[in-house]
Chain A
Amino acid sequence: MKRVSVGIIGLGRVGKIHLHNALHLENVNLVAVADTSRKSRYFAAKLGVNKQYSDYQELIQDPEIDCVLICLPTFLHAKSAIEAAKHGKHVFVEKPLARNVEEGKCILAEFSKNSQKIMIGYPLLFEPSFRKMKRQLDSGRFGDVVISCATNISSGPFGHSTSNSIPQPVPSWWFNKDLTGGGALMDLGSHMINLLCWYFGGEIDDVDAVLGHRYNLDFEDYGLVRIRFGTGTLGLVNFGWFSQATEIKVEIFGTVGNQCVRKKSEGALPTKIIQILKGDVNKSSGHYNELKYFVDCIRHNLNPYPSVRQGLRDLEIISLAYKNQVQ
C-alpha cells in the first residue's frame, strides 16, 4: 500500500511538532510545507523537506500531495480546509475546527459533498492515559459517572513559564477575538469539551458557563463550563491561561469508583537530550499518535474520529457557553 503524501500548512509551534512527527512516520511521505516565514521554510528545508511554499494555496494545488495538515491561525481554518477539499485533498485541521458554528457548518457542507477525509487535531484523545480511562469507562469500571471534572490550566499564549529565561513574542492574531473566535475557552476548553463528549456521548441536555477576565482583554482568560450530558453525567470544564504551572487532567466520580488521570509531562531535560541524541520523536505523544491514526484511516479508507461533526458539536457547545453565561 502506498505511503500517504503529506503537506503541512503553517509552521508555528504545532506545525513544527507535526513536521518532526511526519518525518518519523513510516507511512508518510512529507512532500511540502507552506509558511509565510522564510526562516520557517528554511528550517523545513534543513530537515529535508524538498518543496517549500510561501503561499499555502500553491501547496493545496500541488498534485503530488494527498493530504494537508492545517496548522494555521483559527481564522484561516475554514477557508483553507474548504479550498483543500475542493482540490481533492484529505484534511487534518488543528482544533478548534473554526471560529464559530457558521464556519464549521460550511466545512461540514463541503466535506459532505465528497469522499475526502477530515480529522480535527485533538491530541489528548491519543494520550495513553486518557485512552486507558476511556476503556475503563466503557467497561463499567466506575459504575455510572455522576460528576466529571476536566481541567486544562496553563500560562497560555501570553506567558510561558518565568523559569525559561527568554520570553517569546506572541503572534498578534492571538489578541484579536475576531481572528480567534474566543479566548481560553476556544483554546483550552475545547480540548476538554471534546474529551468529555468522547467519554460520555454527544447528547447534551444543558450548557452554561462562568467566564473570567483577569487580564482585561475582550475575551475570557479563565472560566468554568458546566455540561449536562444526556447520560446524566454532570461535566465541569475548568480552564485558564493564568498559571505558570500546567495541569491537564480528568477526574471521574462514579457510583462504583473514582479516578483521576493526568497528561504525562513531555519529560525532563535529560530525557529530551537523549531523544535528540537518538534523533527520535516521542512516539507515545498524542500528536504523534493522532497523525499516525489519520494516515492509517486514509490508507485503509476508514472514517477518522474526531471528524468534522465532532468539531462542529464542540463549537456548538462553546457557542452555548458564551450565550448562557452565569454572571
Chain B
Amino acid sequence: MKKAVKDSLDLIGFRFDRKTEKLVLKPNMCYYWDHSTGMTTDPKFVAAVVDVIRECLSQDVEISIVESDASAMKCRYSFKILGYEKMAKEKNVSLVNLTLDRKENVEVKVDNRSYEFEIPDTIRNSDLLLNIPKIKYMAGVKISCALKNIFGCNPYPKKFRYHSDLDRVIVALNKAMKSDLCIVDGIVVNGEYPTKLGLIMASEDPVAVDSMAAEIAGINPKHVRHVMLAQMEGIGKMACKNVGENLEYFIERFPQKNAKKEARKVILSFGAAMLEKLHSVFSVI
C-alpha cells in the first residue's frame, strides 16, 4: 500500500516542501461504519500515507489526524472503533477532535452569500492539509469525495443544520480550509453497494479529484452542484489530465447507484414518515 501511495505521488509529480513541519491528515470518518463498507477511510491506508510522509520529509515531522464530532458520531468513540487510536499509537501521530480544538472565526462568501465558520487552530497552524477521502455515492450531493470530506473539518457538531444548504456550505468550507494535497482511498468504494475497486487517486486539486470521482461513479460532474460551484469559486478546475490507469477500468467496476431506485426509496421513506406523523396526529384527535 505504501508503494502504491508513493507511486501515485510520483505520477502527479508531487514533492513535499522540505520546510514542512506540521501536517494535518483528514481521513473520512463517517459514523461508526467499518472501513470494509467503503464509507470510511481505512486506517491502514492512512498509516501508509504517514510512512510515505516520514520517508519523504523526516521522522520528526508533526502529524495530526483530525476529525470532528457530528450529529450522530463522537470522535472519542470513532477514533477507537474505526481503528485510529491503535494506528496513531503505532505510528506515533496525534489524534485531534477538532470540536474540542481552539478556534478562530472566519467569514467566507460563496455565491454572494456569507458564511461564518470557526476554524480549528490545528488546521490554521499547519503547513499542509492532506485530504484523504473515500469515493461514495451520497443522496443529495450525489458524490462524496475530497470537497465533501472537508465538511468534517467544521468543528460545529450539529452538522445536520447545514444539510438544507449543503452544496454551498461544502464549497464555503473548502474556501476557508483549502486542501493542499488529496490522496483518495478508493480501495473499497461505496455506490449501490461496497466494492473493492483498488484505486488510489492523488491530486493537489480537490475539484479535479471530485470531477474524476464523479465520472468513475457514472455521474456527469457537471451535474454535481458543489463541484461546479467549487470551480466557479476558484477552488480548482474540473478539467484535468489522467496520468494513471485507464479510467474505463474503474468506471466499469464501480457499483453505480440506480438513481430511479434510490428516488423511489427516498419517496417511500418520506411517505412512510409523513404517514407516521399523520397517524400520531389523528390518534390524538
Contact = CB atoms under 8 A, between A and B. Distances in A.
B272 A272 contact: yes
Given A167-B71, A167-B73, A215-B80, 18 more contacts: A43-B280, A46-B284, A47-B280, A48-B283, A159-B32, A162-B33, A162-B37, A165-B139, A169-B71, A170-B72, A170-B77, A175-B77, A214-B34, A217-B81, A242-B34, A269-B272, A270-B268, A276-B272
Contacts of B73: 167, 169
Interface in A166-213: 166-170, 175
B117 interface: no
Given A159-B31, A167-B31, A167-B73, A47 B284 contact: yes
B243 interface: no
A162 B271 CA distance: 20
A270 B269 CA distance: 9
A244 interface: yes
Contacts of B282: 279
A242 B32 CA distance: 11
Interface in A270-299: 270, 272-273, 276-277, 279
B33 A46 contact: no
A139 interface: no
A158 B280 contact: no
18 contacts: A46-B281, A46-B283, A47-B283, A158-B32, A159-B31, A162-B190, A166-B72, A167-B31, A167-B73, A214-B34, A215-B81, A216-B86, A244-B37, A272-B272, A273-B275, A276-B272, A279-B279, A279-B283
Contact of A216 (B37, B39, B80, B271): B80
B85 interface: yes
Nearest to B190: A162
A168 B72 contact: yes
A46 to B, nearest CB: 5
What bracket does the count of chain A residues touching chain B fall in? 20 to 34
A48 B284 contact: yes
Interface string B245-285: 00000000000000000000100110110011001111110
Interface of A: prevailing SS? loop
Contacts of A169: 71-73
A184 to B, nearest CB: 13
B236 interface: no
Nearest to A168: B72
Contacts of A170: 32, 72, 77
Interface string B81-120: 1010110000000000000000000000000000000000
Interface string A216-243: 1100000000000000000000000010
A170 B81 CA distance: 13
Nearest to B160: A166
Report, nearest first, the 8 A-B pairs whose CB atoms are least far apart.
A167-B72, A167-B31, A215-B81, A158-B32, A169-B72, A276-B275, A159-B32, A269-B268
A47 B81 CA distance: 38
Nearest to A164: B269
Given A46-B281, A46-B283, A48-B284, A217 B80 contact: yes
Contact of A277 (B85, B275, B280): B275
Contacts of B37: 162, 244
Contacts of A175: 77
Nearest to A279: B279
A243 to B, nearest CB: 9
Nearest to A47: B283
Nearest to B71: A169
Interface string B168-200: 000000000000000000000010000000000
A272 B32 CA distance: 27
B279 A276 contact: yes
Interface string B64-83: 00000001110001001101
